[in-house]
Amino acid sequence: MIETERLLLRPPVEADHPALYAMWADPAVMADLGAVKDDAASAAALARHAGYRHEGLGFLSVIRKEDNAVMGFCGLKRGDPPNPIAGQVEAGWMLARSYWRQGYALEAMVAVLDWGWVNLDVAHIVAITSQRNAASRAMMERLGMTYVAGGDFEHHAFAADDPLRHIVTYRINRPVSIA
């Protein structure tokens, strides 16, 4: 578990599922991320992310401490093949729409990155998003990530004519003070 001033980040439990499933079913949340998910696809996503736990990785439920609200999902995982970031540690986050623009995602991801630097022996952490996803790109920059020139690629999970297929990569290097 990771704790911040306002948040608890912990592995998802069954009681979190309704809020997470609702987030993945929201077209506004998924607009720059992919197709909305039904309950079965949401359950599969949770199971897939649990598969990283043996390395200490995996996404975590984002819980607001003041009322125990399940706000979203964030964490670290291995980049999936056949993408160019395969095997690298990849950061990601999603929050339900009602929690946007309140600093929660930044607070959660700063804590996740701090955890990663302490617990993982990696030179850098990457994040990817669709080229058009300005909000995620801005968040990556607020986290101290920089755009990787030459890191753009076409994501295999999207159709050739889907604008979400065009992916950009950002990276943050291990801070010198933690080396």
Would you kindly state where each structural domain of the chain is located, as residue ranges? 2-178
As a whole number of angstroms, the distance between CA 16 and CA 21 comes to: 9
Share of the chain above pLDDT 70, in %: 99
pTM: 0.93
Residue 63 β-bridge partners:
8, 70
As a whole number of angstroms, the distance between CA 47 and CA 45 comes to: 5
* CA nearest to 147, candidates 163, 131, 162: 131
Q: 20-43: per-residue pLDDT in tens?
A: 999 999 999 999 988 899 989 888
Indicate if the pLDDT at residue 117 is higher than 70: yes
Q: Which CATH number does 2-178 carry?
A: 3.40.630.30
In this prediction, residue 122 has a pLDDT band, given cuts at 50, 70 and 90, of very high
